[in-house]
Chain A
Amino acid sequence: MGLGGMNKLNWIGRSLPRVEDKKFLMGRGGYIDDMDLHGMLHVAVLRSPFAHAIIKGMDTSAAEALPGVVAVITGKQAAELCDWMPDFNPEPNLHKWRVLADEKVRYVGEGVAVVVAESRYIAEDGRDLIEVDYEPLAPVPSARKAQEAGAALLHDGMESNVAHDSTLAFGDVDGEFERAAHIVREHVYWGRTAAQPMETAGSVASYNPGNGMLTIHANSVALTNFSFLVAGTLKIDSNKLDLVPMPAGGSFGSKFWATRATVTAGMCSKFLGRPVKYVEDRLDHALSCDHHGSEREYDIEMAISADGEFRALRLVCTDDYGAYFQFGLGTHGNAMSQVIGPYDIKAISYRAVGVLTNKCQQGAYRGFGSEVHNFALERLVDKAAIELGVDALELRRKNFITPDKFPHKIPGGNVYDSGNYEAVLQEALKDARLDYWRAEQAKAREEGRYVGIGIVTQQERSVYAANEWWFFRGAEGVSSVPESVSLHVDALGKVSVTMYSTAFWGNSPETVAAQVLGEELGVNPDEVSFAYQGTNKGLPGSGPGGSRFTVMITGAVQGASAKIRDKAIKIAAHMLEVAEGDLEYVNGGVQVKGDPSQRKSLAEIAIMPRLFKHQLPDDITSGFDADMVYDHPYTTLPTADRSDLGIFYPMMAHATHIAVVEVDVETGGVKFLDYIAVHDCGTVVNPRSLDGQVIGGLAQGVGQALYEEFVYDDEGQIQSSSWLDYLIPSAMEIPEVRLGHHETPSPFTPYGMKGGGEGGRMHAPAAIASAVDDALKPLGATRATHLPLTPERIISMVNGH
């Protein structure tokens, strides 16, 4: 695809230094906390020390009397100032959440009041002076306890704490299990973690009572086409809210749709008529961010034929969801997109149970549920190999969907666009030196050391369509997930790009757009400039998420570039007195086909519609701009009876990860000896940038597998709310990764790109667990199915528990 007549790519595929980076290297990134407005006030949030309690009363008088405190807003007052928080769950009336708890708190750290003051220091002083009278209720500390008879109810309107329980089944699941020669079962637990970016969520709100405009700069609202929901919560007209995106210091999903900081600042600014900043501190963000990651338990089983063919998959997945149900079962819809992994499984049954508990709510974290499913499926496949007594790699190979089968419609309805799983595996094995590591393993065992090799082959879905939002529910859902850009060519031919959502959170939206512009308009990527437009008057955008942005912004830039080229050719035709049909756009200018001597550069052309419109034909208007709203390139709606959920996540990347570890059976520590990761993300825009995404995601996978966990005790008290206890891996915990890329272009996207932003985290946990199992095999240890594999758990596995 791409530009007609230009077969060779000049900029796509190069490891250019990113165009975003220089300002960050200079400390001039312009993050939300760097923003100061005249007369701006600051917010501190008072948080509940109880997991579950009634708020009987609150005395704010001492806080209000403190010099420098401008206002205290309690949960009760906030409930009058604001409507319910935006929510994407199927039955929002049953379990609503507010920006501040008004009558009842449902987890430790839930906000109950805000203090607005002249400085953050004074706001925090004021917060310490608020007296709250709580009546503690019985805590509901886990999904299991939440479902016990007599468990306290989190939400009075519900009959139980189970917010959702439904099953999707496709194909002859029961028949396959009846006919199966082997049935393999596994129980898997995935611990609660969170993205915990280095920068928390934050917003600066400024309300002008004169015109009713509320402008909120925020680092955490990517789904800008849903900004009207935030306006609804803030009780203002949707066209009077301008949400302006700011660069984010990391997100990994946590800023995909994080509205609480925005509503907090917006509420205070509207109430006081002054600019207000609220940036979460680390404790705010750990206890009460909008998105903890999944906490899940699986009972998963597979029907396998006598000759080792995977026939059907059946699973029950219970989410220990937390106090509110903001994304419903969207994370399971996400897993449904690649429910069969890379294997040609014919039938599936997926029961998802969402249970509300006294914990922080779940949301998005790199993988959005797919990474958990990947882990469960690969653990099951490893176990199948053991029970069948076959080589785990050969078992995988035997069941791979082969390249001739694409596009491949999977049970449920999603389509895998393309792939070559054997080729990816081969490339990984080529570098892996498995013979060497098997010899090392044998040698180590003789010395009483335990080395293990883990190999996984997994999917990495990309470019979501919104269809998944209505999985597990019957209602009609939205279907738009567009991305937009505007291109502007100024009088000197310089190109600017406007984007329309929180595009930058450590990914490379500007670099991608600049490299694509290099192809499409022949401009130098380092000479493009970028701006971000707010939601008011903005074109629709959905932002990064679901590994979609590279593909979607490329489509938008490509479409807008075509409009610019068309206008350039029209103008050049007039300037050169040549028919349009005889001209072509080549290398940053327009020339007569086959005759570069008759040529006008973009700069020569651009000045005409900017300054000399009346020297041009009447049908050429002033200005040299193009908007493009790019819709998802390949999606279909579900059928009415949901027998086919439609195509919703089709750009199917793939990876093989190979981990080599040594497990210290005395301390329970795990050390990496080697790590190989080969990904197929279609056409690669910037290899080094993609490598960075893979390694970075992989590092989060290491955290998930070995170190990180938000632990809640039986009282619902969080035990790991600081980074002294919640262990983010340092450089010493992360392996040197040997990387490879295989490129199977997608037939459905510009240039054949697929997304790769979530990859590493989707694969590393299963690879590490598999390697730990392999290491501990001679000891008869139990399998690594419960994450994180802390030293205590490893010792317990060694002891057979």
Chain B
Amino acid sequence: MSNIDKHEITLNINGNSTSLTVEGRTLLHDTLRRAGMVSVHAGCEHGVCGACTVRINGQSARSCITLAVQVDGDEITTVESLAKGEELNIIQEAFWRRHGLQCGFCTPGMLMRVTEFLEENPDPTRDEAREAIASNLCRCTGYQHIIDSVIEAAARLRGEEWSDDAGIPARELGDATEVSN
């Protein structure tokens, strides 16, 4: 263990080519966190829960059971890539309006999985959405509001308006005294 092998690798993280020195055993999730992508959360650390889900060349994957050296030269996408500055993307905003999160710890992995899913299936049924997110565990929500968020996001991505029961941010409501009657 004292002479641990070192490897020079290059990852394309959210569009930025990043050169890193890692050990052969260094996990991808640790590597990404060290590179500043702290959205990549270690939940179970044995590939069950999906909190560490990132996309590798577009494919969702568990970064806690992936070695960094395995993905040398690959494109890695994390939640840090989704929002534009202060502006959430549509999927993030759907999660916000439909309360698709509580503690937020599984959320980045969930968002990466849902992003992939909606690219494959832009008009899912609730059952399809449920099955799609069964790859990722959430201990807070009981999943129902996540599924609501997926359906909401899909509709918005197809160009539809926010549904009537999607929450409206207080800032958009402005002075509630004028609208609450």
Residues B96-137 near A (CB distance < 8 A)? 96-99, 101-108, 111, 126, 130-131, 133-137
Please name all residues of chain B whose beta carbon is closer than 8 Å to the beta carbon of A527 when the two chains form the complex. Answer: 170-171
Contact call A506/B140, Cβ cutoff below 8 A: yes
A249: interface (CB < 8 Å): yes
B159: interface (CB < 8 Å): no
Contact call A728/B137, Cβ cutoff below 8 A: yes
Please name all residues of chain B whose beta carbon is closer than 8 Å to the beta carbon of A15 when the two chains form the complex. Answer: 99, 165, 167
Cα–Cα distance between A17 and B166 once the two chains are bound (Å) = 9
Q: B37, B97, B103, B130: which contacts A199 (Cβ < 8 A)?
A: B103
Residue interface mask A493-508, B partner, CB < 8 A = 1: 0000000000011110
Q: B86 — nearest CB in chain A belongs to which residue?
A: A22
Contact call A249/B169, Cβ cutoff below 8 A: no
Q: A251 — nearest CB in chain B belongs to which residue?
A: B103
With A33-B42, A282-B46 already in contact, the answer to whether A524 and B140 are too (CB < 8 A) is no
Residue interface mask B130-166, A partner, CB < 8 A = 1: 1101111111111111110000000000000000010
A1: interface (CB < 8 Å): no
B78: interface (CB < 8 Å): yes
Residue interface mask B29-53, A partner, CB < 8 A = 1: 0100100011111111110110100
Q: B91 — nearest CB in chain A belongs to which residue?
A: A25
Contact call B103/A197, Cβ cutoff below 8 A: yes
B63: interface (CB < 8 Å): no
A183: interface (CB < 8 Å): no
Q: A11, A29, A728, A737: which contacts B139 (Cβ < 8 A)?
A: A728
A299: interface (CB < 8 Å): no
The number of residues on chain B lying at the interface, defined by a beta carbon within 8 Å of a beta carbon of chain A, is 71
Contact call A734/B144, Cβ cutoff below 8 A: yes
Contact call B26/A10, Cβ cutoff below 8 A: no
Cα–Cα distance between A441 and B69 once the two chains are bound (Å) = 56
Contact call B105/A736, Cβ cutoff below 8 A: no
Residue interface mask A26-38, B partner, CB < 8 A = 1: 1111010110000
B16: interface (CB < 8 Å): no
With A27-B39, A524-B175 already in contact, the answer to whether A21 and B96 are too (CB < 8 A) is yes
Contact call B167/A17, Cβ cutoff below 8 A: yes
Contact call A26/B106, Cβ cutoff below 8 A: no
Please name all residues of chain A whose beta carbon is closer than 8 Å to the beta carbon of B83 when the two chains form the complex. Answer: 25-26
B15: interface (CB < 8 Å): no
Contact call A199/B41, Cβ cutoff below 8 A: yes
Cα–Cα distance between A198 and B101 once the two chains are bound (Å) = 12
Cα–Cα distance between A587 and B57 once the two chains are bound (Å) = 52
A438: interface (CB < 8 Å): no
A281: interface (CB < 8 Å): yes
Q: Least Cβ distance of A249 to chain B in Å?
A: 3
A16: interface (CB < 8 Å): yes
Contact call A249/B142, Cβ cutoff below 8 A: no
Please name all residues of chain B whose beta carbon is closer than 8 Å to the beta carbon of A34 when the two chains form the complex. Answer: 38
Please name all residues of chain A whose beta carbon is closer than 8 Å to the beta carbon of B42 when the two chains form the complex. Answer: 33, 281-282
Contact call B46/A722, Cβ cutoff below 8 A: yes
Contact call B170/A524, Cβ cutoff below 8 A: yes
A439: interface (CB < 8 Å): no
Contact call B131/A196, Cβ cutoff below 8 A: no
Residues A54-90 near B (CB distance < 8 A)? 66-67
B25: interface (CB < 8 Å): yes
Contact call B88/A25, Cβ cutoff below 8 A: yes
Contact call A688/B145, Cβ cutoff below 8 A: yes
Please name all residues of chain B whose beta carbon is closer than 8 Å to the beta carbon of A730 when the two chains form the complex. Answer: 134-137, 143
Please name all residues of chain A whose beta carbon is closer than 8 Å to the beta carbon of B175 when the two chains form the complex. Answer: 524, 587-588
Please name all residues of chain B whose beta carbon is closer than 8 Å to the beta carbon of A693 when the two chains form the complex. Answer: 102
Q: Least Cβ distance of B128 to chain A in Å?
A: 11
Q: B25, B45, B169: which contacts A17 (Cβ < 8 A)?
A: B169
Q: Least Cβ distance of A697 to chain B in Å?
A: 8
Q: Least Cβ distance of B114 to chain A in Å?
A: 12
Q: A699 — nearest CB in chain B belongs to which residue?
A: B142
A692: interface (CB < 8 Å): yes
Contact call A526/B170, Cβ cutoff below 8 A: yes
Q: B174 — nearest CB in chain A belongs to which residue?
A: A524
Please name all residues of chain B whose beta carbon is closer than 8 Å to the beta carbon of A514 when the two chains form the complex. Answer: 170
Q: A26, A251, A283, A723: which contacts B39 (Cβ < 8 A)?
A: A26
Contact call B180/A8, Cβ cutoff below 8 A: yes
Cα–Cα distance between A27 and B37 once the two chains are bound (Å) = 8
Interface centre among A18, A66, A693 (most CB of B within 10 A): A18
Interface centre among B102, B133, B175 (most CB of A within 10 A): B102
Contact call B80/A31, Cβ cutoff below 8 A: no
Q: B1, B25, B97, B134: which contacts A731 (Cβ < 8 A)?
A: B134
Cα–Cα distance between A24 and B80 once the two chains are bound (Å) = 11
Contact call B99/A26, Cβ cutoff below 8 A: no
Q: B133 — nearest CB in chain A belongs to which residue?
A: A731
Residue interface mask B72-99, A partner, CB < 8 A = 1: 0000001110110000100010011111
With A121-B25, A722-B48, A734-B143 already in contact, the answer to whether A198 and B43 are too (CB < 8 A) is yes
Contact call A281/B45, Cβ cutoff below 8 A: yes
Contact call B145/A198, Cβ cutoff below 8 A: no
Please name all residues of chain B whose beta carbon is closer than 8 Å to the beta carbon of A28 when the two chains form the complex. Answer: 38-39
Contact call B49/A737, Cβ cutoff below 8 A: no
Contact call A723/B44, Cβ cutoff below 8 A: yes
Please name all residues of chain A whose beta carbon is closer than 8 Å to the beta carbon of B146 when the two chains form the complex. Answer: 731
Interface centre among B25, B49, B99 (most CB of A within 10 A): B99
Cα–Cα distance between A121 and B80 once the two chains are bound (Å) = 25
Contact call B43/A199, Cβ cutoff below 8 A: yes
Residues A721-752 near B (CB distance < 8 A)? 722-724, 728, 730-732, 734, 736-737
A625: interface (CB < 8 Å): no
Q: B37, B135, B169: which contacts A16 (Cβ < 8 A)?
A: B169
Contact call B145/A250, Cβ cutoff below 8 A: no
Q: Least Cβ distance of B104 to chain A in Å?
A: 3
Top 4 closest pairs, chain A to chain B, by CB: A27-B39, A24-B104, A249-B105, A506-B103
20 interchain pairs, CB-CB under 8 A = A10-B176, A16-B173, A17-B168, A17-B169, A18-B96, A25-B88, A25-B101, A25-B111, A27-B78, A27-B80, A31-B38, A67-B2, A198-B51, A198-B138, A252-B139, A506-B104, A688-B145, A695-B145, A723-B44, A731-B134
Q: Which residues of B contact A (CB under 8 A)?
A: 1-2, 23, 25-26, 30, 33, 37-46, 48-49, 51, 78-80, 82-83, 88, 92, 95-99, 101-108, 111, 126, 130-131, 133-147, 165, 167-171, 173-177, 180
